[in-house]
A and B are shown apart, each in its own frame.
Chain A
Amino acid sequence: MITFASFPAPPPEHNAYGGTGRYPDDADEMDIDDGDGLEVLGRKLTSPGEVLTSSHAFMRGHGTFVDNEEVIGSVTGVIERVNKLISVRAIRTRYNAEVGDLVVGRITEVQPRRWKVDANSRQDAVLMLSSVNLPGGVQRRKVESDELQMRTFFEEGDLLVAEVQAFFSDGALSLHTRSLKYGKTLSQLRNGQLVTVPPALIRRLKSHFLSLPCGVDLILGLNGYIWVSKLTKASEQEGEEGFDAEAVYSNRNDDIDDATRAAVSRVSNIIRILAAHFVPLTDAVILDAYEWAMEQEGDLKDLLSPDVGEALVTAVSAHR
Chain B
Amino acid sequence: MTIDLTPRGTADGSAVITHGLTEVMVDVFGPKEAKLRGQTSHDRALVTVEVGIMPFSTGERRKRNRGDKRILELAATIKQTFEPVIQTALYPRSEISIFVHILQQDGGLLPASINATTLALITAGIPLTDYVTAITCGVYSTNPLLDLNTIEENDIPHLTVASLPRTGKVTLVAMETRLHVERTAVLGIYVRRLIRAAADPTDVTIQEDALTDVIKHRLNIASLLFLWTVATATGDFDNPDVSVRKGP
Contacts from A to B (Cβ < 8 Å): 1-10, 12-13, 15-25, 27, 30, 32-34, 38, 40-43, 45, 47-49, 51, 63, 65, 67, 72, 74-78, 80-83, 89-94, 108, 116, 118, 122-124, 170-172, 196, 200-201, 203, 277-280
A47 vs B123: C-alpha distance when bound (angstroms): 10
Are A196 and B127 in contact, with the CB atoms below 8 A?
Answer: no
The 7 closest A-B pairs by CB, nearest first: A93-B125, A90-B125, A278-B235, A74-B127, A49-B130, A16-B234, A49-B166
A12: which of B3, B87, B92, B236 is its contact (CB, 8 Å)? B236
Min CB gap A29→B, angstroms: 11
Min CB gap A55→B, angstroms: 15
One of B74-82, B149-157, B219-227 contacting the partner: B219-227
Min CB gap B222→A, angstroms: 6
Min CB gap B119→A, angstroms: 10
A201 vs B239: C-alpha distance when bound (angstroms): 10
The reply to whether the CB of B228 lies closer than 8 angstroms to some CB of chain A is yes
Per DSSP, chain A at the interface is loop
The reply to whether the CB of B177 lies closer than 8 angstroms to some CB of chain A is no
A7 vs B242: C-alpha distance when bound (angstroms): 7
User: Quick one: given A32-B219, A108-B33, are A92 and B238 in contact (CB under 8 Å)?
Assistant: no
B-side interface residues, number (CB < 8 Å): 64
Contacts from B to A (Cβ < 8 Å): 1-7, 10, 12-13, 30-33, 42, 87, 91-94, 122-131, 164-166, 201, 216, 219-220, 222-248
Are A4 and B244 in contact, with the CB atoms below 8 A?
Answer: yes
Are B227 and A23 in contact, with the CB atoms below 8 A?
Answer: yes
Are B94 and A18 in contact, with the CB atoms below 8 A?
Answer: no
Contacts of A45 in B (CB 8 A): 226, 229-230, 233
Are B245 and A2 in contact, with the CB atoms below 8 A?
Answer: yes
Are B244 and A83 in contact, with the CB atoms below 8 A?
Answer: yes
Query: What are 25 A-B contacts with C-beta separation under 8 Å?
Result: A1-B248, A7-B239, A8-B239, A9-B239, A12-B234, A19-B6, A20-B4, A23-B3, A23-B227, A24-B2, A41-B234, A43-B233, A45-B229, A49-B129, A49-B164, A75-B128, A77-B125, A83-B244, A89-B240, A92-B7, A123-B32, A123-B91, A278-B232, A279-B235, A280-B237
